Amino acid sequence: MIVQRATPPEMRGRVSSAFFVARDVLFLIGMGAAGLADYMDVRLLYLVSALMLTGAGAAILFMPDLGPSFADWKRTFSLLRGVEAAPRLG
């Protein structure tokens, strides 16, 4: 969705193909990392991948036009403050 919104219509095919190539390359890197499990501790590999995923998520929060705006954060926190009044199960 972000790729489609931020890309001019005449460039969407090229941008989408670059996006898919990047996705497939990361898939291959993941398969190679799975092969590392024969030589390294699996828990260490999970820790490294979790740190990389957390870092990528944190980076997106601060990227212009990708992260949520201040108004979105304000709306989210105001909704969370009203959770006490929300109906509960049971």
Task: DSSP for 36-88, please give it.
Answer: GGGTS-HHHHHHHHHHHHHHHHHHHHHSTTTSPPHHHHHHHHHHHHGGGGS--
For residue 21, what are the domain limits? Answer: 1-38
pLDDT per residue over 36-68, tens digit each? Answer: 888 988 899 889 889 999 998 888 877 777 667
Do residue 34 and residue 49 come from a single domain? no
Write down the pLDDT at residue 90. 62
Of the pLDDT bands very low, low, confident and very high (cuts 50, 70, 90), residue 2 is low
Do residue 47 and residue 78 come from a single domain? yes
Write down the pLDDT at residue 47. 92
Query: What predicted TM-score, i.e. pTM, was given to this entire model?
Result: 0.52
Count up the domains in the chain and report the number: 2
